[in-house]
Amino acid sequence: QHRSMQTPVGKREAQREQEPPRPDTSSCCQRNIDIDSTSLRPATAGSIGLDLEAAVAVDLLTTQLKKVPTGVKGPIIIAGQPMGALLLGRSSATMLGLFVLPGVIDADFTGEICVMVHTLFPPIRIERGQRIAQLVPLEQLTKTLTPHQPQSRGERGFGSTGGLTLLTMNLNDRLKRTVIIGYRGQKQTLEGLLDTGADSSIISPDFWPHNWPLQPSTVTVTGVGGLTLAKKSPMLSVTIDGKTLQNIFSVVNLPPTVQCL
């Protein structure tokens, strides 16, 4: 079952007697698409941050990072002037297990502001309209300095001004062995890719015998392309280099040249 983000318990009774509690600022029942940043408001007269809410409902099924759109378009305008901002988490969301990666919103950014979130205790559900982060406006003190690039940032975000490096694995260099899987007297011979660093055993559905059963699974397999809900095999006998053991495989798509790993 999913855990939904909820409003935590407020101040202690003694504190409530000293001052009236402020209204709940953890959720909002209405939202607009492409919200102009000038419509953002602080929660109270003493707040230095502007709350951001999720534009869509999001399910966090793993501990992997997730980008959550807010519907808010830059630049951030304060008193008629474009401002930069720090993007930070909210303490109420952090207490419920939702962590926000801090970020910097530039004064010349005109795209949609998104929030990078993750949880250590999945699954968790972020409801649409849930306030999960805040912007702390900052004056741009670097405006008199000569930039490296003459053009403004515009709608480009998430490292668009720097190069992107993706570390990949050359599958041709990995150790390969003949793998014989068995189920109720039937056998299938595959070419297995070993020592890949994967934390589960996987068979491509293209090489799974059609007359062998598959079972539903709640296990997700995460890779460069995102996460995939896998199916699982029954208990199989697995023979490699003359040694046999019992194992359960996840059955999920693999690169075209890979049969199992």
pLDDT in the model for residue 224:
43
Residue 260 lies in a domain: no
Is the pLDDT at 227 greater than 90, yes or no? no
Same domain, 118 and 192: no
Residue 258 lies in a domain: no
Residue type (1 letter), 56: V
> Distance between CA atoms of 176 and 6, rounded to whole angstroms?
49
pTM over cut 0.85: no
**Which of 138, 155, 189 marks a domain boundary?**
138
Same domain, 132 and 21: yes
Taking only the tens place, the pLDDT of each residue in 48-60 is 999 999 999 998 8
Is the pLDDT at 231 greater than 90, yes or no? no
Residue of 234, 178, 239 lying closest to 211 (CA atoms): 234
CA dihedral 111, 112, 113, 117 (to 10 degrees): -130
Residue 164 lies in a domain: no
**Which of 138, 156, 179 marks a domain boundary?**
138
Residue 210 lies in a domain: yes
Same domain, 127 and 177: no
197-216 burial: b if 16+ Cβ within 10 Å, else e: eeeebbbbeebbeeeeeeee
Same domain, 134 and 180: no
Put the strands of the sheet holding 176-183 in their side by side order.
186-193, 176-183, 236-240, 243-247
Same domain, 132 and 243: no
- E strands, 108-154, are 112-119, 124-126, 131-138
What is the pLDDT confidence band of residue 162, given thresholds at 50, 70 and 90?
Answer: low
> Distance between CA atoms of 195 and 211, rounded to whole angstroms?
29
Residue 146 lies in a domain: no
The domain tally of the chain equals 2
Same domain, 45 and 120: yes
Q: Report which listed range, 38-42, 146-150, 232-236, 255-259, is most confident.
A: 232-236
| Token pair recorded at residue 139 | 């004056």
Taking only the tens place, the pLDDT of each residue in 104-134 is 999 989 889 999 999 988 888 899 999 999 9
Q: Structural domain of residue 222, as residue ranges?
A: 171-251
Please provide the DSSP assignment of 201-227 as one string. -EE-GGGS-TTS--B----EEEETTEE
**Catalytic residue (one of 24, 36, 59, 195):** 195
Tell me which of 182 and 33 has the higher pLDDT.
Answer: 182
Same domain, 187 and 98: no
> Distance between CA atoms of 21 and 164, rounded to whole angstroms?
47
75 prior amide bond cis, ω within 30:
yes
Decide if 195 is catalytic: yes
Residue 259 lies in a domain: no
